[in-house]
Structure 1
Amino acid sequence: MKIGITGGIGSGKSYVCKLLAERNIEVYDCDKAAKRLMHESAELKSQLIKLLGPDAYTDDGLLNKAVVARFLLLSEDNAHAIDNIVHPAVVNDFIQSGMQWMESAILFESGISHLVDRVIVVTAPEIIRLERIMKRDNISNEKARQWMNRQWPQEKVRQAADFEIVNDGIQPLLPQLETILNKLQQ
């Protein structure tokens, strides 16, 4: 059985994945894979340079994150153009990995939820998510909201998922995770 872990930016998906790693459950990280592939794949680099221009990569061959972020946030069409280049490469990489678990912030939005049999969503109150994003990325409230608004509303993801882990800093995570793992084993 393949399992997807999703949730909006700042919800705590990565932390839940660390808890899974402590249980020897390896999780494919779509975001890290996308970044790796954008650096390693000559084909992806070529396509991104064609789309974004020569500033897409620095002189030493690193992805120019500021250029990509600026382009992404300008319009939905821009975001889709990048997604149409990167997502197929990530899907192929996941399939080739043979892994059973996948973490993706945009599992439903990207159309890759068909790759998994069950979905766990990690949720948190919006104010907590905003604080986490601003602190982690050292960005303004406005910029954090822009990133949040690029994703489905949390309630929509919650309704589409099979299981929910509430990461509000009040409810303990481990019992929630253990309950889900037990249900998945049945």
Structure 2
Amino acid sequence: MVCKDFHACRWPAELCDRDDSLACHFDAMNEKHAHAIKEIQRKCEKVITFSHYVPRLDLCPEKRMLYYPNLPKIIGSNFLEARIRSIHGAEGSKAACHVFGHTHFGWDATLDGIRYVQAPLAYPREQKRNMNGGLGWLPLNLYSDGRFTERQHFYWSDYYSVNPRTPDNMELAPWVAALYKR
């Protein structure tokens, strides 16, 4: 009910949004570009990959921190992370960067050797309320003069850079608990 993506799309009968068939289908579409990817890897020192969806669950706040706790179920897939690793290498490198979107949470973190960045432009009401750690809501310059720009500071990636994830903690964040008390 919250995510418009499922209401706006119609899939062939063999594809379903309740299993991995959609993620598998979209990932397989990348195969036709395998030769182009190899050529880019051969020619370029640095590679920036892009996706609309989130490649890893640890690029989203924990469920207890979210107003919509089912968000992690609809933001990405393991297929996407595997595809990114196939391009950047299993260990990643200083030349590896992936730009993603979908959740509107600003994020800039390096995980397992790959820099992951989300600098959302956001919806107008999010911009007006300065939600989700926007940087003045202008596009982020990520690469300039042959190098990546410095790490940006966004609320959630900064939070998790000093606080470990605690998936066994079921206590709602205070701002979420306040919503349920109303």
TM-score by length of 2: 0.28
Could you say which structure has the higher helix fraction? 1
Larger Rg over CA atoms: 2
